[in-house]
C-alpha cells in the first residue's frame, strides 16, 4: 500500500499541498484537476489541461496577473513513487484568475483565491505556422517526423520525440503544401496518414505518441496484492509495442463506481462496413486514388470510416488500411464500456496500480476487470473478448482533504490468443522451481509454521486458493470479492501460479 500525494512546480518553485505555509508562499488550496485524452474511440485527442487552485496570502499572483507576467509560466504536476518521481502533467499557464476573499491568514493578511489553467505543450503548436512551401515527394515518414520536430523547435517548443509505429519509417510520401495550416494541424495529418490514428502527449517523456489501438495476443495471470491479505484476482500481463512496455493490472469491479449503470447504443461509427483511404499517385501527376475494404451487403447503406494518407509506398498504404479495417470491425464495433471510477482516497495497493490510474495520456495499458457485470451482459462471455480495457482519456482530481478522484473513459481490447480455460483441479499450487515460495508472502506475519521440505514438482498446500473472504486472519489465498468463475474462463489452464504483486 502506498500513499500518493502530488505537488505542483510553478516557474521552478515547488508549491506545498497544504495550509501550513499560508503567509509565506502560495499553497494548493482545493487541489488540482487534469483533463486529458478523448471520450470516444473515433474522436481526436485534445491537448491536456490542468487546473490548479491556490490560496495566496502574499498577493504575488494578483500582482503577476496585473503586470502581465502570469501567462506562459511553466507548470509541472508530479508525485513521488518508490521507484522515482512521476511527472503527471507538464505545460504552461494559458489562463489565470485571482479573487481577493474575505479570509485572512494568521498574520491578518488578505488571502487571494487563485485559479491557474495550464495547457500541455502541444497546444502551443496551434500558434506555430511553417514558412510557405512544399514538402518534397519521396521523403520518408521518418524525414517528415524530423521536419515536425524542427518545426516545434522553431516555435520555441523542445519536444523530445514524435513517436509512431516504427514499421512506417521507410515509407515514402507525397508532396505536401505547408504554410496555411498550423503545426498542430500538420501533426494531426501526419498521424492520420497511419490508419487515421490519433495522437497523445506523454508528459513523462515529453513526447508525442501514436495512439496505437489494435488487437493482440494478451495474457493473464493470478495475482495477490497487499491491499487485502490473501485476495487473489486475475491480472493482465504487460503489453509491449515497439519495445515499450505498458503495465497491466487487475481491477476489482466491486470497488469501481458505475453510477449510471450499463448503457448501449447503435450509431454509424459503431457498425462501420467500409473503410477508405485516399492516397496520391505520383505516376499520374499526384492524382487522388482510393483504396478500400468493405463488407457492404446488398441494398445496405455504407457506414464509412475514411482517412487521407501521405504515404505512397504500396505496402504501407495496404498496411495502414488493413489496420484501420481491423479496428473498425473489432474494437470499434463493441458497445462502450461504462466509465471506470476511482473513489476518493490517497492510497493505492501498489505503485504499479497508482501509475496505471494516474497516467494522464493514452496508451494500451491493459486492466482485467474482475467481476465485470458490464462485460457479462455486453460481451456475453465471448471467448475473444475478455474483460480487458485500457483508457482513452479522463479526469484526474486531487483535493487535500479527500485525495484522488478519477474518472476514465475506457475501450475494450480484442484478444486473439487461444485460451484453454482454467479448470478447478489445475488451480492447485506447486513448487514450480527451486525458488518457488511454499507459503503465502504474509505467512511469517501471522506466525505460520514453515512446512516440511518440499521438492520441485510437489504440491504446496499452504499456497492453494480457496473461496471465502480474505483478511488478516486468513491462512490461505482467497479469491477477491469480485472474482467469479466466469473470469477464470479467460485464464489459460497452464497459467496457474499465484504471483505476489507487492510493488
CA torsion sign, 422 to 425 to 428 to 432?
negative
Asked if residue 115 and residue 14 are part of one domain, the reply reads yes
Name 3's bridge partners: 347
Asked if residue 113 and residue 47 are part of one domain, the reply reads yes
310 found inside a domain: yes
Asked if residue 251 and residue 109 are part of one domain, the reply reads no
Which of 333, 366, 386 is the last residue in one of the domains? Answer: 333
- The pLDDT assigned to 18 comes to 62
The DSSP line for 122-181 is: GGGGGG--PPSEEEPTT-BHHHHHHHHHHHHHHTT----EEE--GGGTT-BB--EEESSS
- The pLDDT assigned to 399 comes to 87
- The pLDDT assigned to 226 comes to 66
- The pLDDT assigned to 448 comes to 79
Band (358; pLDDT cuts 50, 70, 90): very high
* Alpha-carbon span 394 to 407, nearest angstrom: 5
Residues 167-185 have pLDDT tens digits of: 999 999 999 999 999 999 9
* Alpha-carbon span 496 to 492, nearest angstrom: 8
CB 415 within 8 A of CB 386: yes
28 found inside a domain: yes
Task: Judge whether residue 19 has pLDDT over 60.
Answer: no
How many separate domains does the chain show?
A: 3
419 found inside a domain: no
Residues 26-49: b if buried by 16+ CB within 10 A, e if exposed: bbbbbbbbbbbbbeebeeebbbbb
- The pLDDT assigned to 134 comes to 94
The DSSP line for 409-477 is: EEEE--B-----B--GGGG--B--STT--SS-TTTGGGTPPPPSP--TTSB-GGG-EESS---TT--SE
* Alpha-carbon span 136 to 435, nearest angstrom: 59
User: What letter does residue 16 receive in the DSSP assignment?
Assistant: P
CB 22 within 8 A of CB 106: yes
Asked if residue 349 and residue 275 are part of one domain, the reply reads no
Residues 361-402 have pLDDT tens digits of: 999 899 999 998 888 888 877 888 899 999 999 999 998 888
Cα 197 to chain centroid, rounded = 16
* Alpha-carbon span 19 to 360, nearest angstrom: 27
* Alpha-carbon span 405 to 346, nearest angstrom: 9
Asked if residue 373 and residue 276 are part of one domain, the reply reads no
Asked if residue 254 and residue 380 are part of one domain, the reply reads yes
Higher per-residue pLDDT: 122 or 447: 122
Higher per-residue pLDDT: 97 or 61: 97
Residues 192-243 have pLDDT tens digits of: 999 988 999 999 999 999 988 877 788 899 988 765 567 889 999 888 877 7
* Alpha-carbon span 123 to 49, nearest angstrom: 9
- The pLDDT assigned to 25 comes to 59
CA angle, 16 then 21 then 24, to 5° = 110
Highest mean pLDDT among 117-126, 341-350, 438-447: 117-126
| Average confidence (pLDDT) over 414-441 | 85
23 found inside a domain: yes
Asked if residue 329 and residue 340 are part of one domain, the reply reads no
491 found inside a domain: no
* Alpha-carbon span 67 to 502, nearest angstrom: 50
Band (299; pLDDT cuts 50, 70, 90): confident
**Whole-number CA gyration radius for the chain:** 26
107 found inside a domain: yes
Q: Locate 333 and state its grid cell.
A: 464495433
What are the C-alpha distances in Å from 359 to residues 89, 157, 223, 344? Answer: 9, 22, 22, 17
Among 42-46, 256-260, 478-482, where is mean pLDDT lowest?
A: 256-260
Which of 90, 120, 150 is the last residue in one of the domains? Answer: 120
Q: For 309-346, list the strands marked E by DSSP.
A: 340-345
* Alpha-carbon span 323 to 305, nearest angstrom: 12
Asked if residue 255 and residue 371 are part of one domain, the reply reads yes
- The pLDDT assigned to 103 comes to 67
Asked if residue 408 and residue 344 are part of one domain, the reply reads yes
319 found inside a domain: yes
Q: For 295-429, list the strands marked E by DSSP.
A: 304-308, 340-345, 347-348, 367-370, 388-399, 403-412
* Alpha-carbon span 212 to 202, nearest angstrom: 14
- The pLDDT assigned to 89 comes to 96
Angle of the 183-192 helix axis to the 141-154 helix axis, nearest 10: 160
497 found inside a domain: no
CATH of the domain at 9: 2.40.30
Residues 441-480 have pLDDT tens digits of: 777 777 778 888 888 888 888 888 887 776 555 567 888 8
| Average confidence (pLDDT) over 82-109 | 83
> Residue 502: which of 454, 449, 445 has the closest Cα?
445
* Alpha-carbon span 350 to 2, nearest angstrom: 6
Which of 99, 120, 141 is the last residue in one of the domains? Answer: 120
CB 411 within 8 A of CB 337: yes
| Average confidence (pLDDT) over 59-87 | 90
| Average confidence (pLDDT) over 12-24 | 65
* Alpha-carbon span 358 to 394, nearest angstrom: 10
Which residues form the domain of 348? Answer: 246-262+336-412
Higher per-residue pLDDT: 266 or 322: 322
CB 335 within 8 A of CB 306: no
pLDDT exceeding 70 applies to what percent of the chain?
Answer: 92
Among 24-33, 205-214, 364-373, 419-428, where is mean pLDDT lowest?
A: 24-33
| Average pLDDT of the chain to the nearest whole number | 86
Residues 279-292 have pLDDT tens digits of: 999 989 999 999 99
- The pLDDT assigned to 419 comes to 83
Asked if residue 110 and residue 20 are part of one domain, the reply reads yes
Band (308; pLDDT cuts 50, 70, 90): very high
Name 6's bridge partners: 79
Task: Judge whether residue 319 has pLDDT over 70.
Answer: yes
Asked if residue 39 and residue 13 are part of one domain, the reply reads yes
* Alpha-carbon span 153 to 163, nearest angstrom: 16
Asked if residue 394 and residue 250 are part of one domain, the reply reads yes
- The pLDDT assigned to 117 comes to 95
The DSSP line for 201-245 is: EETTTTEEEE-----B---EEEEEETTSTTEEEEEEPPEEETTEE
Amino acid at each position: 500500500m502506498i500513499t500518493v500525494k502530488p505537488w505542483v512546480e510553478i516557474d521552478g518553485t515547488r508549491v506545498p499541498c497544504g495550509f501550513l505555509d499560508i503567509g509565506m508562499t502560495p499553497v494548493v488550496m482545493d487541489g488540482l484537476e487534469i483533463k486529458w485524452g478523448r471520450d470516444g474511440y473515433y474522436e481526436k485527442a485534445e491537448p491536456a489541461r490542468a487546473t490548479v487552485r491556490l490560496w495566496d496570502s502574499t498577493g504575488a499572483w494578483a500582482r503577476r496577473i496585473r503586470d502581465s507576467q502570469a501567462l506562459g509560466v511553466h507548470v509541472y504536476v508530479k508525485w513521488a513513487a518508490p521507484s522515482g518521481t512521476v511527472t503527471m502533467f507538464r505545460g504552461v499557464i494559458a489562463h489565470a484568475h485571482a479573487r481577493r476573499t474575505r479570509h485572512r491568514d494568521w498574520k491578518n493578511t488578505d488571502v487571494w483565491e487563485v485559479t491557474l489553467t495550464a495547457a500541455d505543450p502541444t497546444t502551443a503548436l496551434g500558434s506555430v505556422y511553417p514558412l510557405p512551401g512544399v514538402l518534397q515527394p519521396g521523403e520518408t515518414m521518418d524525414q517528415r517526423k524530423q521536419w515536425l520536430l524542427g518545426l516545434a523547435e522553431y516555435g520555441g517548443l523542445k519536444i523530445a520525440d514524435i513517436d509512431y509505429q516504427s514499421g512506417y519509417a521507410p515509407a515514402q510520401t507525397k508532396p505536401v503544401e505547408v504554410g496555411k495550416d498550423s503545426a498542430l494541424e500538420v501533426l494531426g495529418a501526419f498521424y492520420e496518414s497511419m490508419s487515421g490514428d490519433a495522437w497523445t502527449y506523454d508528459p513523462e517523456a515529453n513526447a508525442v505518441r501514436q495512439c496505437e489501438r489494435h488487437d493482440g495476443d494478451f495474457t493473464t495471470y493470478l495475482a495477490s496484492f497487499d491491499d487485502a491479505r490473501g485476495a487473489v484476482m486475475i491480472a493482465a500481463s504487460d503489453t509491449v509495442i515497439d519495445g515499450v512496455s505498458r503495465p497491466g493490472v487487475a481491477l476489482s469491479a466491486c470497488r469501481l463506481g458505475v453510477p449510471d449503470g450499463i448503457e448501449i447504443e447503435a450509431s454509424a461509427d459503431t457498425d462501420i462496413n467500409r473503410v477508405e483511404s485516399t492516397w496520391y499517385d505520383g505516376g499520374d501527376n499526384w492524382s487522388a486514388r482510393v483504396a478500400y475494404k468493405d463488407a457492404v451487403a446488398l441494398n445496405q447503406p455504407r457506414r464509412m470510416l475514411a482517412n487521407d494518407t501521405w504515404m505512397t509506398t504500396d505496402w504501407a498504404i495496404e498496411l495502414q488500411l488493413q489496420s484501420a479495417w481491423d479496428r473498425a470491425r473489432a474494437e470499434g464495433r463493441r458497445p462502450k464500456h461504462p466509465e471506470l471510477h476511482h473513489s476518493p482516497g490517497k492510497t493505492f495497493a501498489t505503485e504499479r496500480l497508482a501509475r496505471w490510474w494516474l497516467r494522464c495520456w493514452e496508451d494500451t495499458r491493459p486492466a482485467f476487470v474482475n467481476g465485470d457485470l458490464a462485460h457479462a451482459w455486453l460481451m456475453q462471455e465471448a471467448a475473444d473478448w475478455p474483460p480487458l480495457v485500457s483508457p482513452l482519456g479522463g479526469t484526474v482530481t486531487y483535493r487535500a482533504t479527500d485525495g484522488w478522484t478519477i474518472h476514465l473513459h475506457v475501450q475494450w481490447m480484442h484478444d486473439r490468443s487461444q485460451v484453454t480455460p482454467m479448470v478447478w483441479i489445475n488451480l492447485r499450487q506447486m513448487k514450480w522451481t527451486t525458488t518457488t515460495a511454499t507459503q503465502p508472502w504474509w505467512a511469517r506475519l501471522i506466525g505460520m509454521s514453515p512446512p516440511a521440505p518440499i521438492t520441485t514438482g510437489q504440491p504446496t498446500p499452504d499456497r492453494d486458493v480457496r473461496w471465502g473472504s480474505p483478511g488478516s486472519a486468513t491462512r490461505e489465498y482467497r479469491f477477491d470479492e469480485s472474482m467469479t468463475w466466469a473470469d477464470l474462463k479467460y485464464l489459460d489452464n497452464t497459467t496457474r501460479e499465484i504471483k505476489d504483486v507487492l510493488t
